[in-house]
């Protein structure tokens, strides 16, 4: 009995810690000018004001938002489609070099992104892709070893008999993949897509390096530069942070059950 | 952990030639081959080559052999940043691992509403690092920040967290732990749920205390999970960049200048690509050694401790 009360108490404190910075972001973003210095940071300011958002969008933030949404969608789509193809080949086809190649894919998980940053930049320079959409998206959208690994594990668990049946009925490889394998793989596809969206939406170092013009700026870079440009306009910085966080929170609320379960199950096999 | 499964016998070779299957496989792999070989593996090779050159922006690259490496070994900035990185890893990895294991033990209990607690605890992992870094900078703000205001309620005069060379690093590391404890909790939770419940009943029948049960049964059986969590966290903390970039920019002084930040600085502020590549090689080597030695350690220990 005592143990149960203790468990709940610790968990409530833990959750307050987990959520507090988000709450603070919301409260601060909607505070009016002057309210910040009068109230405690965690006190709601009354009445709520959208002045910080007006300042933010007045300085081009809307464009960053659109850019981030489009780039995230584009990279994620590429990553998921190409990962499905590769994972299917690794899971179901037999070909020379398969196991060795799979090891190569996995070993790249150990390479710190900052190590590849300089060569990638120089490559993009050679290709004339610095400060272009292609340069921003290409290096990350083609190969994602982690997604390929997770999908391969899942595909291997699907009974091969189902596919054999379809193939006897005359379905080709692509047809089998699309109409048999993928519908059975919904949970893992949701997870892989969510992981990719989170990573792409949040990505910072590569966009910071490879783009320089403002019309190609992404949210995270915009927010980071904002700190310097606006100085200590905390309201505007929080409003920007809120906009960066909100879509991921919505995503999380919608897919929470899938993510919590399948991160827990698939990450370890 | 990440291990290709046992070699599978080719199953459906009826009706499709081996050559055609190989062609189909490589066609499916083509885009990811470009990505993995071209944009992940080739850069590693290139960075090794670059580290042998003196290459400043606009100047012609000049082959200098191991000169960059000689400079590396006498460059106190580099060793300082490696120590700072190690310090960061040494706070973050045990901090995240222990906290996430404790949280997993709590949410593993079958009580009402547990799934909501699990979900709430994972929320920090969703954070856009740059955005949350700024939120935390403000929480740590000495004047109007939430932390010192809160301490002020109890009459405590809080320090200037991020502008103190002593406190800046632990503060930044605390944000890292905050961000990843809930996420890693999920892996421990999965590990705990894979342990048969009957083991718990058996050990409590034998009169073992919960603490003894934890150390003799639960912890040894969590070994694979522990290895996974440790390795991903070590690799992750060695690469920390975003939060540090917005919270301290490596400062005050150079007290939070981790290796990634130094590399970024050398390459994209001073445009010294050759030397920045050399530091990258050093960082990569350290990550590699750290990862491999964890594997080795766990492989060696697992065999006798599970039976003992």
- Which ipTM did the prediction report? 0.86
Which residue in the block uniquely carries the two structure tokens 């700026």? A217
Pair (A10, A57) in one structural domain = no
Report chain B residues whose CB lies below 8 A from the CB of A112. Answer: 235, 238-239, 260, 280, 283-284, 287
- Domain layout of chain B by residue ranges: 18-51, 70-300
pLDDT of residue A264: 60
The count of structural domains within chain A is 2
pLDDT at B153 over 70: yes
> Which distant-in-sequence residues (6+ apart) come within 8 Å of A256 by Cβ?
B119
pLDDT of residue B158: 87
Pair (A42, A149) in one structural domain = no
Q: Which two tokens stand for residue A251?
A: 């995503």
> Which distant-in-sequence residues (6+ apart) come within 8 Å of A183 by Cβ?
none
| Nearest to B93, CA basis, from B299, B262, B294 | B294
Q: Which of A17, A40, A156 sits opposite B149 (nearest CB)?
A: A40
Residues β-bridged to residue B53? B63
Given a contact cutoff of 8 angstroms between Cβ atoms, the answer to whether B263 and B280 are in contact is yes
Given a contact cutoff of 8 angstroms between Cβ atoms, the answer to whether B159 and B239 are in contact is no
Pair (A13, A74) in one structural domain = no
pLDDT of residue B13: 46
Q: Which of A19, A143, A265 sits opposite B36 (nearest CB)?
A: A143
Pair (A5, A99) in one structural domain = no
Q: Do B239 and A28 touch (CB under 8 A)?
A: no
Pair (A180, A263) in one structural domain = yes
State the nearest Cα–Cα gap between B174 and chain A, in angstroms: 12
pLDDT grade for B16, boundaries at 50, 70 and 90: low
> Which distant-in-sequence residues (6+ apart) come within 8 Å of B169 by Cβ?
B84, B87, B88, B91, B255, B256
- CATH number for the domain including A237? 1.10.3720.10
Mutation site, A77, A118, A206, interface B, largest B CB count within 10 A: A118
Pair (A31, A157) in one structural domain = no
Pair (A172, A117) in one structural domain = yes
Q: Which two tokens stand for residue A198?
A: 């989170």
State the nearest Cα–Cα gap between B120 and chain A, in angstroms: 6
Q: Which two tokens stand for residue B38?
A: 């071209």
* Closest residue in B to A243 (Cα–Cα): B131
Q: Is B39 exposed, middle or buried (0-12, 13-18, 19+ CB in 10 A)?
A: buried
**pTM of structure:** 0.88
pLDDT at B8 over 70: no
Q: Which of A112, A241, A260 sits opposite B283 (nearest CB)?
A: A112
pLDDT grade for B304, boundaries at 50, 70 and 90: very low
Given a contact cutoff of 8 angstroms between Cβ atoms, the answer to whether B180 and B174 are in contact is no
pLDDT at B3 over 60: no
Pair (A173, A193) in one structural domain = yes
Main-chain dihedrals φ then ψ at residue A177, nearest 5 degrees: -60, -50
The alpha carbon of B284 is separated from its chain's Cα centroid by a whole number of angstroms, namely 13
Q: What is the pLDDT along chain A (269 residues), one digit of tens a residue?
A: 678 888 899 999 999 999 999 888 888 888 887 777 677 777 777 778 888 888 888 888 899 999 999 999 999 999 999 999 999 999 999 999 999 999 999 888 888 888 899 999 999 999 999 999 999 999 999 989 989 998 998 898 888 888 888 888 887 888 888 888 999 888 889 888 988 999 999 999 999 999 999 899 999 998 888 776 556 678 888 888 899 888 988 888 888 777 766 666 554 44
pLDDT of residue B305: 42
State the nearest Cα–Cα gap between A107 and chain B, in angstroms: 9
Pair (A118, A37) in one structural domain = no
* Closest residue in B to A29 (Cα–Cα): B135
Pair (A137, A35) in one structural domain = no
Q: What domain range is A18 assigned to? A: 1-48
Pair (A152, A166) in one structural domain = yes
| pLDDT top residue among B77 and B57 | B77
State the nearest Cα–Cα gap between B166 and chain A, in angstroms: 24
Domain topology for B70-300: MetI-like fold (1.10.3720)
């Amino acid at each position: 009995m005592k143990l149960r009360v203790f468990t709940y108490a610790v968990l409530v404190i833990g959750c307050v810690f987990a959520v507090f910075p988000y709450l603070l972001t919301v409260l601060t973003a909607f505070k009016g000018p002057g309210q910040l210095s009068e109230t405690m940071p965690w006190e709601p300011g009354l009445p709520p004001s959208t002045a910080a958002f007006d300042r933010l969008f007045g300085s081009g933030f809307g464009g960053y938002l659109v850019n981030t949404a489009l780039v995230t969608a584009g990279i994620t789509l590429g990553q998921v489609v190409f990962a499905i193809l590769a994972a299917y080949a690794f899971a179901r086809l037999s070909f020379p070099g398969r196991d060795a190649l799979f090891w190569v894919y996995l070993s790249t998980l150990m390479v710190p992104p900052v190590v590849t940053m300089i060569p990638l930049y120089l490559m993009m320079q050679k290709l004339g892709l610095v400060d272009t959409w292609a340069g921003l998206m290409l290096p990350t959208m083609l190969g994602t070893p982690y997604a390929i690994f997770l999908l391969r594990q899942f595909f291997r668990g699907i009974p091969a008999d189902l596919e054999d049946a379809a193939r006897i009925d005359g379905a080709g490889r692509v047809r089998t993949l699309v109409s048999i394998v993928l519908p059975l793989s919904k949970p893992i596809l949701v997870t892989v897509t969510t992981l990719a969206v989170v990573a792409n939406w949040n990505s910072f170092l590569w966009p910071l390096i490879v783009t320089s013009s403002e019309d190609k700026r992404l949210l995270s870079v915009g927010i980071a530069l904002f700190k310097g440009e606006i100085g200590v306009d905390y309201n505007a910085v929080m409003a920007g942070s809120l906009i960066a966080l909100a879509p991921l929170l919505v995503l999380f609320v919608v897919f929470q059950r899938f993510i919590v379960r399948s991160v827990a199950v698939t990450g370890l096999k | 952990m990440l291990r290709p499964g046992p070699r599978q016998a080719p199953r459906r070779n009826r009706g499709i030639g081996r050559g055609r299957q190989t062609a189909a496989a490589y066609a499916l792999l083509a885009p990811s081959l470009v990505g993995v070989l071209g944009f992940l593996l080739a850069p590693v090779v290139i960075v090794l080559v670059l580290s042998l050159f003196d290459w400043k922006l606009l100047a012609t690259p000049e082959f200098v052999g191991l000169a960059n490496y000689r400079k590396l070994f006498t460059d106190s900035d580099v060793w300082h940043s490696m120590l700072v990185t190690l310090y960061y890893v040494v706070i973050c990895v045990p901090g995240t691992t222990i906290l996430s294991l404790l949280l997993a033990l709590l949410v593993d209990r079958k009580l009402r509403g547990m799934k909501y607690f699990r979900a709430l605890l994972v929320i920090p992992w969703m954070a856009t690092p740059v955005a949350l870094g700024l939120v935390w900078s403000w929480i740590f703000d000495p004047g109007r920040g939430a932390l010192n205001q809160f301490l002020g309620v109890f009459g405590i005069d809080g320090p200037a967290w991020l502008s103190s060379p002593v406190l800046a690093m632990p503060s930044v590391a605390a944000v890292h732990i905050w961000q990843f404890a809930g996420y890693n909790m999920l892996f421990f939770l999965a590990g705990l749920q894979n342990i048969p419940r009957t083991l718990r009943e058996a050990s409590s029948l034998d009169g073992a205390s919960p603490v003894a049960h934890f150390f003799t049964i639960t912890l040894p059986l969590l070994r694979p999970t522990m290895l996974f969590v440790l390795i991903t966290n070590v690799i992750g903390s060695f690469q920390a960049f975003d939060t540090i970039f917005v919270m301290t920019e490596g400062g005050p002084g150079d007290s939070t200048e981790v290796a990634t930040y130094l590399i970024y600085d050398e390459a994209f502020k001073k445009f010294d690509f050759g030397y920045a590549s050399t530091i990258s090689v050093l960082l990569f080597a350290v990550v590699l050694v750290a990862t491999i030695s964890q594997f080795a350690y766990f492989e060696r220990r697992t065999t006798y401790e599970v039976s003992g």
